[in-house]
């Protein structure tokens, strides 16, 4: 289940605001439309927004019709800035934009048409590499899963959050494909309901047993012994292992430690921000209050009530049992295991 396709100069995104009740492919013809789709969460999930951003630059630069190379690179910097300004937390977005821009700069001696081609090829390479990374995360992570484990996951770190297969759900898929009778508890993940709408949908489609629970039920199931491990994705991992992920991840990690349940993060190395020493340096996106007061068009809360809506939180490294990456499983002390990846 891929959430994005690039065909004939157009980026097609499965509209994740409408899933699972409606399958609508949203078409982006301009880089501004790509930026809007990221901001409005038509596409979401750290790796998926990274690759979407790369295609956005390819679309924007393909529309450049002049012959002056300085103007070409000015436009490239402008588009990169617009796309980076969409969502602040997932480092994959910045990583992807910088990778495409650097590739163009390295080839600045070539013709404009050639550089345009190189930009698109880089985006396509990142798309392919993401799926390969997820398969590797799945292979490594499967080693941590026992034959009849019940795994709790939060948000959606599945095919829909990546270019296919998923990170946290990649591990679950790999275990399922290996014949293990795994079951999943999917937290609904308020306010945007990625768990209820996307994770439950993906797993059901794949025939992997999934049970949907409200976010506040996780502690109960941990305490009564119905959860064997937790696996979530990540939006940004600091050099010390502190991890930003969907709001509510921190709560789960604390509950897991209290109940002696392993807590795993599954993410590609591109989600590690080697520049920051701890999670305190991660910018947490605050989104529109309407996501909390409403579910789609339906109003739940009183008009004008004060709302806070941080989209992510930081789980301190001490709550994380291991980080499953595409280059192997990292164990504490993460300062050491992460440094070795550099
Ligand atoms: O706000 P979202 O839906 O983009 O947040 C997504 C998450 O928090 C995911 O867990 C994370 O991006 C990893 S996706 C493989």
Residue nearest to atom 15 of ligand 1 (CA): 157
Task: Give me the pLDDT at residue 273, please.
Answer: 98
Ligand 1 site, CB within 6 A: 44-47, 90, 155, 157, 161-162, 167, 194, 232-235, 245-246, 311
Task: Give me the pLDDT at residue 342, please.
Answer: 87
The C-alpha angle 92, 98, 102, rounded to 5 degrees, equals 145
188 CA to middle of ligand 1, Å? 13
pTM summary value:
0.97
Q: Is 15 a catalytic residue?
A: no
Task: Give me the pLDDT at residue 292, please.
Answer: 97
Ranges in the chain, pLDDT < 70: none
**Ligand 1 atom nearest residue 194's Cα:** 3
DSSP secondary structure string for all residues of 154-221? -S--SGGGSSSS-SHHHHHHHHHHTT---EEEEE--TTTTHIIIIIHHHHHHTT--EEEE-GGGHHHH
From 235, 273, 313, 326, active-site residue: 235
Domains of the chain: 4-134 (1.20.120.420), 143-339 (3.40.50.10470)
**Helices vs strands, H then E, count in the chain:** 12, 16
Work out whether strand 183-187 and strand 10-14 pair parallel, antiparallel, or are unpaired.
Answer: unpaired
pLDDT mean across residues, the chain: 98
**Of the candidates 50, 39, 48, 58, which has an alpha carbon nearest to the alpha carbon of residue 14?**
48
Contacts of 102 (CB under 8 A, 6+ apart): none
**Of the candidates 270, 269, 274, 240, which has an alpha carbon nearest to the alpha carbon of residue 328?**
269
116 CA to middle of ligand 1, Å? 30
52 contacts 11 by C-beta, under 8 angstroms: yes
Q: Which residue out of 14, 38, 51, 90 has the highest number of ligand 1 atoms within 8 Å of its CB and is therefore the one to mutate?
A: 90
325 contacts 341 by C-beta, under 8 angstroms: yes
311 CA to middle of ligand 1, Å? 9
Helix (H) or strand (E) holding 263: strand 263-266
**Assigned token pair, 285:** 């996106």
What strands, in cross-sheet order, belong to the sheet with 322-325? 210-213, 183-187, 150-153, 229-232, 263-266, 322-325, 328-330
């Amino acid at each position: 289940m891929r959430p994005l396709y690039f065909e004939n100069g157009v980026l097609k995104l499965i509209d994740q605001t409408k899933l699972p009740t409606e399958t609508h492919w949203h078409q982006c013809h301009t880089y501004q439309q790509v930026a809007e789709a990221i901001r409005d969460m038509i596409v979401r999930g750290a790796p998926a927004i990274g690759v979407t951003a790369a295609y956005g630059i390819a679309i924007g630069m393909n529309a450049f019709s002049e012959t002056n190379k300085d103007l070409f690179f000015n436009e490239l910097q402008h588009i990169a800035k617009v796309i980076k300004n969409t969502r602040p937390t997932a480092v994959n977005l910045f990583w992807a934009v910088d990778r495409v821009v650097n590739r163009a700069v390295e080839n600045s001696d070539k013709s404009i048409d050639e550089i345009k081609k190189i930009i698109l090829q880089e985006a396509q390479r990142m798309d392919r590499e993401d799926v390969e990374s997820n398969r590797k995360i799945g292979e490594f992570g499967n080693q941590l899963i026992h034959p009849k484990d019940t795994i709790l996951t939060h948000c959606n770190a599945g095919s829909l959050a990546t270019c296919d297969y998923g990170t946290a759900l990649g591990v679950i898929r790999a275990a399922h494909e290996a014949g293990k009778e795994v079951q999943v508890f999917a937290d609904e993940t308020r306010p945007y309901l990625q768990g209820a709408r996307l994770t439950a949908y993906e797993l059901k489609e794949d025939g992997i047993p999934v049970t949907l629970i409200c976010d506040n039920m996780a502690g109960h199931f941990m305490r009564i012994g119905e959860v064997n491990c937790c696996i979530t994705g990540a939006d940004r991992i600091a050099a010390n292992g502190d991890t930003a992920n969907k709001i509510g991840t921190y709560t789960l990690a604390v509950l897991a430690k209290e109940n002696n349940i392993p807590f795993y993060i599954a993410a590609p190395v591109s989600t590690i921000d080697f520049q920051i020493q701890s999670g305190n340096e991660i910018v947490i996106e605050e989104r529109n209050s309407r996501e909390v007061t409403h579910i789609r068009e339906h109003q739940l809360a009183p008009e004008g009530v004060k709302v806070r809506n941080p989209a992510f939180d930081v789980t301190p490294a001490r709550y994380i049992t291991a980080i499953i990456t595409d280059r192997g499983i990292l164990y504490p002390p993460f300062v050491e295991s992460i440094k070795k990846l550099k």
